[in-house]
Amino acid sequence: MGPAGSGKSTQADLLAQDLGAIHLNTGDLLYYASQELDPQAATIKETMDKGEIVDDDIVTNLVLKHLDEHKGEDFVVEGFPRTLEQAKESGIMPDDVIYIALSDESATKRMLSRGRPDDTPETIAKRLKIYHEETEPILEYYKSLNVLRQVSGEGEIAEVAQKIAQQINV
């Protein structure tokens, strides 16, 4: 877990390689679902284009279906859960939850420098606001379950990767 710009995707990739696990990127999963030819695809696409959070039931079902299709494999799940509802209703209990902490200022700087068309100051502010409101409450939930491992996301890629590996004893 971590805000947009915290390096979640990069770190999830590295960790999955280290663990020999499958990297499930929920943003990608939703993107593929949005390209299908069914009514749900249009709903997903509209929500993603606005930078808003896709409906909890839709996301949870897609993630559970994906995990079920790869039963018995280890997973590094990225981008899920993004709401407390998703965390609780999915019934998924992770072994470890890695939280990559980054200030809004650093997150904004990083997103602006990567120059993606959907990274305007307005959409960045909106994503961070949604993150604070919808996603941050999950941190307390996982903390109370003793699975939350926090690292600072301010450093270089290798430095952050090393801290994550230490946290979960890879």
Q: Are 19 and 166 in contact (CB under 8 A)?
A: no
Q: Can you tell me the distance from the alpha carbon of 65 to that of 156, in angstroms, rounded to the nearest whole number?
A: 35
Q: Can you tell me the distance from the alpha carbon of 120 to that of 56, in angstroms, rounded to the nearest whole number?
A: 26
Nearest approach, Cβ of residue 126 and ligand AMP (Å): 10
Would you say 33 or 151 has its CB closer to ligand AMP?
33
Would you say 47 or 152 has its CB closer to ligand AMP?
47
Element (H, E) at 75: strand 75-78
11 binding ligand AMP? (CB under 6 A): no
12 binding ligand AMP? (CB under 6 A): no
107 binding ligand AMP? (CB under 6 A): no
Instruction: Residue 127: name the closest of 32, 38, 52 by CA.
Output: 52
Binding segment (CB under 6 A) for ligand AMP, from list 53-61, 66-74, 99-107, 143-151: 53-61
